[in-house]
Amino acid sequence: MSQLPTIGHLIDGKLTDGNANARSQSVYNPATGKAEKRLLLADKTTVEQAIRSAQAAFPAWRNTPPLKRARVMGNLKGLLEKHADEICALITAEHGKVLSDAAGELQRGIENVEYASYAPELLKGEHSKNVGPAIDSWSEFQPLGVAAGITPFNFPAMVPLWMWPMAVACGNTFVLKPSERDPSSTLRIAELALEAGLPPGVLNVVNGDKEAVDTLLTDPRIKAVSFVGSTPIAEYIYAEGCKHGKRVQALGGAKNHAVVMPDADIANAVNALMGAAYGSCGERCMAIPLVVAIGDTTADAVVAALKVEIAKMQVGPGTDASSDMGPLVTKPHFEKVRGYVDQGVKEGATLVVDGRGVSVSGHEDGYFLGPCLFDHVKPGMVIYQEEIFGPVLGVVRVKTLQEAMDLIDAHEYGNGTCIFTRDGEAARYFSDNILVGMVGVNVPLPVPVAYHSFGGWKRSLFGDLHAYGPDAVRFYTKRKTITQRWPSAGVREGAVFAFPSSK
């Protein structure tokens, strides 16, 4: 392990190993199953060093004009586009997703950087003249101080770019704790931010595990925490962060349902479902793991078409341009997802396509699981209820749209959903009444663009504000309202004891 390249941290504008005696772990290439890098895990002292650096940088950065902060974001956008191939290669090498998917992820992240570059417009407050006799009032949005982000493995470039660009564009400084499974692209992007003109200390990156997370959650210098990950951890982050007086948004898990109506264009719906279920090996919180087919005729048509399309899929390393789907991220996760398939068979669901036996020539030790398809999945089954986060798609059969909606509404998660139909009335009713935060109509992955905001309902989100977009401006700032009056010289007024009003 000691001969592997080492990944450390970025603190105060410099790469550092932190504590020389820190714990470490291997970073694997999931296509080969081999350890390729050694990741140093930040201890409490190292994280505190990053927080100290961010706190020291805050006063000057807070007072930097928003336009100058925005120009850094503009520079970063250009650098991310210039280095896109390098960043995507890092993502694929550690996550496993195919390069085209990595490119799509990075592009979505770049769009968030672009939105952050509009900060001078987004931070404009409100102004009212003469709210009372010669009294003016206005509001402004001030930064919080030091903010922190804790990000997941499935989008190592995009999700961090949901967080820190807007945070720093609003005048905050930031400490980022990326996933320890695939940290290299995140760290490289932070280096590019320095090259773009971000002053040392404004953005710090610490790689670590629970010790690093708990330090961020308990340190009083951290004013806000943004998190994306599983629901149990999101709930922990939210509870601990709030307990320590922080503003917290914690995005959790999902179990997204796709409703297919009898009048849907089945061919187009199936093509959309293929990408939504098996893209990125199903490791997306907006993936579609469940199809709710209205009527047996619809279900039979969907299952038959999916079976044909799955047979065409190529599973292989993400660096191979012919691969449609790469490996799962780690061996433990591979075993967990495979266990869900085993569980579905035991519970009585019909395994129409079994991907458990897939083998990729030359990559026999990689974490490859082929696409799996279940039919006759029932509510109450583990594969129905729990988030699998893998290439496993289940078909549920119901008789009516209302029955489908009742199933979706009863589920603990409310992240995303979609409906495939040609019926505008049905689509409108579904969109208006479903208890889910993000809804697609003939769109399988209704992920909002950068100038909207992303977030689910129920146990998919803890906190009041969604991620990125307009909600990010509100999350990373606090409103201050100022009311002022300049009395005329020489005019003296008596004391007024009634509550002031404009009557």
Catalytic residues, by residue number, are: 285
Q: How many CB atoms lie within 10 A of CB 121?
A: 9
Do residues 161 and 189 touch, judged by C-beta distance below 8 A? yes
**18 Rama sector, left if φ>0, alpha if ψ -120 to 50, beta otherwise:** left
Q: Is 264 helix (H, G, I), strand (E, B) or coil?
A: coil
CA-only gyration radius of the chain, Å? 25
Helical (H) or strand (E) element with 393: strand 392-398
CA–CA separation, 193 vs 203, rounded Å?
8
Specify whether the CB–CB gap between 479 and 139 falls below 8 A: yes
Strand partners, 412: none
- Angle, in degrees to the nearest 10, between helices 184-195 and 158-169: 30
Cβ distance 484 to 135 under 8 Å? yes
User: Could you tell me if 302 and 260 are in contact, meaning their C-beta atoms sit under 8 angstroms apart?
Assistant: yes
Q: Which helix (H) or strand (E) holds 276?
A: helix 266-278
**Rounded to an integer, what is the distance from CA 339 to the centroid of its chain?**
25
Q: Please tell me whether residue 52 adopts helix, strand or coil conformation.
A: helix
Sequence-distant (6+) residues with CB within 8 A of 462 are: 234, 235, 237, 238, 248, 249, 250, 251, 252
The residue assigned the tokens 């296509």 is 31
Is the Cα torsion angle 7, 84, 173, 462 positive or negative in sign? negative
DSSP 8-state secondary structure symbol assigned to residue 374: E
Strand order in the sheet with 9-11: 14-16, 9-11, 203-205, 173-177, 146-150, 222-228, 247-251, 461-462
Q: Are 212 and 19 in contact (CB under 8 A)?
A: no
Which amino acid would we find at residue 289?
P
Q: What is the DSSP letter of 181?
A: S
Contact 340, 392 (CB under 8 A): yes
Which residues, listed in sequence order, are joined to residue 66 by a DSSP beta bridge? none
Residues contacting residue 162 through CB under 8 Å, at least 6 positions apart? 109, 112, 226, 228, 454, 467, 468, 472
- What separation, in Å, do the N-terminal and C-terminal C-alpha atoms of the chain show? 76
Q: In 141-260, which ranges are continuous DSSP H helix?
A: 158-169, 184-195, 210-218, 231-243
Question: Cα–Cα distances in Å, from 159 out to 58, 177, 212, 240?
Answer: 23, 11, 19, 22
CB-based contact 275:97 (threshold 8 Å):
no
